[in-house]
Structure 1
Amino acid sequence: MPLDIFGFRAMWSPNFIGVLVFIIVIYFLITIKWRHDFKNSTPLTRSEAANFIAAMILLYIIKGSPVNLLSHIMFTMHMVQMALLLLVVPALLIKGIPNYLWQFLINIPYIKPAFKMVTKPIIALVVFAALFSFYHIPLVFDYVKLEESLHGLFTFVLFLSGLFLYWPLLNTLEDQPKMKGLHKVGYIIANAVLITPACAMIIFAGSPFYATYTDGTVWMKAMALCVPADTLSGLTNLSGPELFTNMTPLNDQQLGGVLMKILQEIIFGIILARVFYEWYQNDRDNAEQITQDALLERQQLRENEYR
């Protein structure tokens, strides 16, 4: 059955396009026209603008295009949506928003202490893995999917946890703690390990977990999150998501878990490659200083031995 039975608004989310265009306009006004109102402002770079625009485009694709509609029909697409929303968009935003704007936001009195706490590597790591795993507990997942406001709030909190997760890895602010190369590697590997149990539970299940993808009545209620009520009320002949896919609910669920894990490994692999490259560049550019430090440390050890 074609997706266009749900209508243009459900397929393309024109209101969401308007919101994203408004955000983009505000972004360029702040970073170009009004940037001198901020302390230590710097000219907007092409890289920053490209990262921010890429984040907005990707955000529209996963939350405004037919991908969003499909994520309510197929668990596979839901997991692809989660991977991109939580593991790609936050990284693009961190690199797309200039440092002086991050500095302004972080230094807001009530935000500063909270931000400092939630971006500590251990806390960011555990909170992200815990929220992701908790969200995909069947009872929680089905309940959240049926409450529009709760679904929006939980998705936003998950997104923020992804932002906090990436902050220790990607931020370049001078007064913000930064992780060293080897610590970054361990951090990325630890995150991959921590969300593996949730993915494994989904992949190796012997039966489908989620009523929002298996029970026709519950599924129709969940579809209200992305389909206008007047359109949905006229679709009385729909029995369930099986009308739009040839996969069984169990295969759909298992494929979703596999794709989530594969996409996570690909994304983290790219970040690891970048970490190793920066590590190599730093060693090459500062080879002389590193050698001098090593020799000095060795000399000090020898002097201590003779004492």
Structure 2
Amino acid sequence: MGLEYFSFADLWSPVMMVVSLLIILLYSLVTGPWRERFSASEPVSKKRQAAFIAGIVLLYLAQGGPLSLMGHLMFTFHMTAMAISYFIVPGMLIYGVPAWLWRSIFSRPFWRPFRFLMNPLLGLFAFNLLFSVYHMPANHDWIMTHYVIHGFYYFVMLGAAMISWWHIMCPVAEWSRLTNLRKLGFIFLNGLLLTPACVLIIFATTPLFSVYNDPEVWTRAMGYCISGNSAEFLSQFKGGPAFFSLMAPTDDQQLGGIIMKLLQEFVNIAAMYAVFMQWYRRERAQDDDPSFDHASSSRLNNV
């Protein structure tokens, strides 16, 4: 793809690398030596720690590592980075943070005015709306060529994705707002709502996004990814993004849409399986407990 033309800083974003390492260090301290400072804290399993650290590393690779730069060269890599950032990473981060730490952070009075953000309907629609609006061609090109807006929009989408996945795998039992049956419906609708945007991209017969087809727009977008005199540096690549692309623009666009949808469906199927098995194991445990009040449980689950 011609990545040899770019510097280490262009490919690996040292600032985001340092931020990611600091987050991992802080997490390791809070769940390790500093754990006793938190009330009702418990040891965090190696599995949870590995999930959180892997989630941060994946987010860095998608938004700060080579995949981020490649996402400005080909639409396929752009969609791959988005799928990793918003379908895979949120669940890993939520799972990696122990329940006692979630309680310690979000039980504070400061968060009370923001509780409306945790409404399941908002969690269902917010990310899908943000994603769909972003991938309207004119919006996409404008956001990609305005660095501050681009960074802010990606941060908001990550927050919306975290809220959406929170309702599916809520790690704090008393904060869960959905029964297992409703979680299955939530996952199904989540996949359904993203389908129109993916279909638009997959079945388009002409290139939709100027960032990947117009050398002038591409140069403006790339200017935020590389150091030094970006216009002079990029002028050596005749044809702009076509110089780096491995396929025709329409094929690249269609493949990107397919990868996005397939990865979402794969993650959704895995989530539905996990929710169903959790439901099944709980029902089996209750059936084996003669003191369990099934009538009361049924009424509570229908609230």
Q: What's the counterpart of residue 163 of structure 1? A: 162
Distance 1:119 1:49, change over 3 A: same
Aligned-pair CA distance for 1:128: 1.2
Distance 1:74 1:123, change over 3 A: same
Q: How many residues align?
A: 297
Q: What's the counterpart of residue 186 of structure 1? A: 185
Asked whether the equivalents of residues 7 and 231 of structure 1 are also in contact (C-alpha less than 8 Å), the reply is: no
Sequence identity percentage: 36
Q: RMSD in angstroms over aligned alpha carbons? A: 2.1
Distance 1:233 1:109, change over 3 A: farther
Q: What's the counterpart of residue 108 of structure 1? A: 108
1:273 paired with 2:284, answer no
Q: TM-score w.r.t. structure 1 length? A: 0.90
Distance 1:143 1:290, change over 3 A: farther
Give the Cα–Cα distance (whole angstroms) in 2 for the partners of residues 23 and 260 of structure 1: 27
Give the Cα–Cα distance (whole angstroms) in 1 for the partners of residues 281 and 2 of structure 2: 51
Give the Cα–Cα distance (whole angstroms) in 1 for the partners of residues 88 and 74 of structure 2: 21
Q: What's the counterpart of residue 177 of structure 1? A: 176
Matched AA of 1:33 = P
Aligned-pair CA distance for 1:65: 2.2
What is the DSSP-based 3-state SS (H/G/I as helix, E as strand, rest coil) of the residue aligned with 1:117?
Answer: helix
Give the Cα–Cα distance (whole angstroms) in 1 for the partners of residues 153 and 281 of structure 2: 40
Asked whether the equivalents of residues 98 and 171 of structure 2 are also in contact (C-alpha less than 8 Å), the reply is: no
Q: What's the counterpart of residue 303 of structure 1? A: none
Q: What's the counterpart of residue 51 of structure 2? A: 51
Q: How does 1:133-172 map to 2 (within 5 A)?
A: 133-172=132-171
Q: How does 1:1-307 map to 2 (within 5 A)?
A: 2-114=2-114, 116-230=115-229, 233-238=232-237, 239-289=239-289, 293=293
Distance 1:16 1:292, change over 3 A: closer
**Segment drifting more, 209-218 vs 7-16:** 7-16
Give the Cα–Cα distance (whole angstroms) in 1 for the partners of residues 295 and 215 of structure 2: 71
**Structure 1 unaligned spans of 5+:** 298-307
Aligned-pair CA distance for 1:180: 1.8
CA offset digits 1:197-244 (Å, max 9, x no partner): 111111111211111111001101101222113355333212311111
Asked whether the equivalents of residues 118 and 124 of structure 1 are also in contact (C-alpha less than 8 Å), the reply is: yes
What is the DSSP-based 3-state SS (H/G/I as helix, E as strand, rest coil) of the residue aligned with 2:223?
Answer: helix
Asked whether the equivalents of residues 6 and 232 of structure 1 are also in contact (C-alpha less than 8 Å), the reply is: no
**Which runs of at least 4 in structure 1 moved beyond 4 Å after TM superposition?**
289-297
Matched AA of 1:137 = M
CA offset digits 1:247-300 (Å, max 9, x no partner): 111111111111110000001111111112112211222224599756899xxx
Q: What's the counterpart of residue 300 of structure 2? A: none
